[in-house]
Structure 1
């Protein structure tokens, strides 16, 4: 059931439930992954993201792949709930653009200086 929020109706809300088996958890995770991937064009439009959609899709895949080998059902349930909450926050525009762009900070940031002189020139000693 959709609950009204402060700014209107809270869309994309789901109730949390535990997965009954590893297959059920996998099915839910794949469904969430597909939902994220299908929403990329809308997400780009809502948040005015000026990046190629392929880069955003690759980042979504990277985030899901990071947790691919989790085996405990309890942990999978928590990761699923967090992923669903992130999706809801992004699609309801509860997250600001800088929150979304933080996912891409590593790719966008210039390389950090490693030698003493590079650090000195950068103003870090």
Structure 2
């Protein structure tokens, strides 16, 4: 009875695209290369006020953010989303504001004490 519960809990799931981590890694590298090659055209076409190197740095940061993932299904889903984003960007189905949203500065924490709130004019 207990062995059936263990087998039921560790159920095998159907992969989305990749069968193992190595294949998912190759797909992620191919997506990175595709974005890397398209960045000069994207910068020129959308006329964004960033250099190609700044865009490549931001691309690197975005991929590094997800480097700790190990679940193949999650990696595949992110790859699918990245491919969709690339297609939308290359076909100019986005506007300049969508592209610039990737460069948003990090939000500053709101003040918590009375004096900081008073000086910033926050209620």
TM surpasses 0.5: yes
Distance 1:118 1:56 in 2: 35
* Residue 119 (structure 2) pairs with residue 91 (structure 1): no
Distance 2:110 2:19 in 1: 49
Distance 2:57 2:40 in 1: 14
Q: Which structure's CA Rg is the greater one? A: 2
TM-score when normalising by structure 1: 0.74
Q: Structure 1 residue 119: deviation in Å? A: 4.7
Structure 1 ranges of 4+ moved more than 2 A: 111-125
**Residue correspondences, number:** 107
Distance 1:28 1:122 in 2: 47
List gaps (5 residues or longer) in structure 1: 1-16
Query: Which string of whole-angstrom CA distances, capped at 9 and with x for unpartnered residues, describes residues 18-42 of structure 1?
Result: 1122111100100100111111110
Distance 1:46 1:118 in 2: 43
Which residue number corresponds to residue 40 of structure 2? Answer: 41
Which residue number corresponds to residue 64 of structure 2? Answer: 65
Aligned-residue CA RMSD in angstroms? 2.1
Distance 2:37 2:57 in 1: 13
Query: Which string of whole-angstrom CA distances, capped at 9 and with x for unpartnered residues, describes residues 75-111 of structure 1?
Result: 111011011011111111111111111111116x8x6
**Given the superposition, is the C-alpha separation of residues 65 and 121 from structure 1 closer, same or farther in structure 2, using an over 3 Å criterion?**
same
**Given the superposition, is the C-alpha separation of residues 46 and 118 from structure 1 closer, same or farther in structure 2, using an over 3 Å criterion?**
farther
SS in structure 1 at match of 2:105 = helix
TM-score when normalising by structure 2: 0.75
* Residue 34 (structure 2) pairs with residue 21 (structure 1): no
Higher helix share: 2
